[in-house]
Amino acid sequence: MLNELWWMWLQVFDSLSNPLIGGGVVVGGVALGFGGRLAARRTGWRPVPSVLAGIWLGVVLGATFSRTLPDWAGRDQFCQLNGFAVNGGIELLNGLLFVPLVFCAVLATRRPLAVLGSAIALSAAIEIVQPLTRRGLCETQDFLNNSAGAVVAAALAAGVLAAYRHRTAAR
């Protein structure tokens, strides 16, 4: 397990060393972080988690759309039909990809189900758009792993909100 985690982090740093991916993550994170702040002002969301959710949305979009598709990929079928798995580094990264975004968005909006539904829809949209733009592969495994991570993050954030409400009600 430790070996898998080490390999996973090496993959992240290797990907970010690509100027296109690193730049996409930074530019997307900064731009959408500002967008999160604007959304917080207009909607009454909590500002800090809104900014963090915007940054993480930029990271998700930057990481998924800044890379180029290898020549060998995506020729046989539009979407590869494979199942849920977290037995490898890339699979685990896909499971973790939406966790910070969903966690922060739930804390910002206080609406776990709405955020969860939006995250699942975003994951599906990313998987459909990637092969159309030649910026990645459509894989059902990525969608399932992203969605599972989003469910865990929404549940954790809902628990944090419930604990906070319970603590403030007890005062």
Domain parsing of the chain, residue ranges: 2-170
The residues, ordered by sequence, that sit 6+ positions from 160 with a Cβ below 8 Å of its Cβ are 107
| pLDDT tens-place values along the chain, 171 residues long | 556 656 555 666 666 677 777 777 788 888 999 999 999 999 999 999 999 999 999 989 988 887 776 666 656 678 888 887 777 677 888 889 999 999 999 999 999 999 999 999 999 999 999 988 888 888 899 999 999 999 999 999 999 999 999 888 887
pLDDT confidence of residue 38: 96
**Nearest residue to 83 via CA among 140, 126, 10:** 140
Q: What is the pLDDT of residue 6?
A: 60
Looking at residue 136, its pLDDT comes to 82
Q: Are 54 and 113 in contact (CB under 8 A)?
A: no
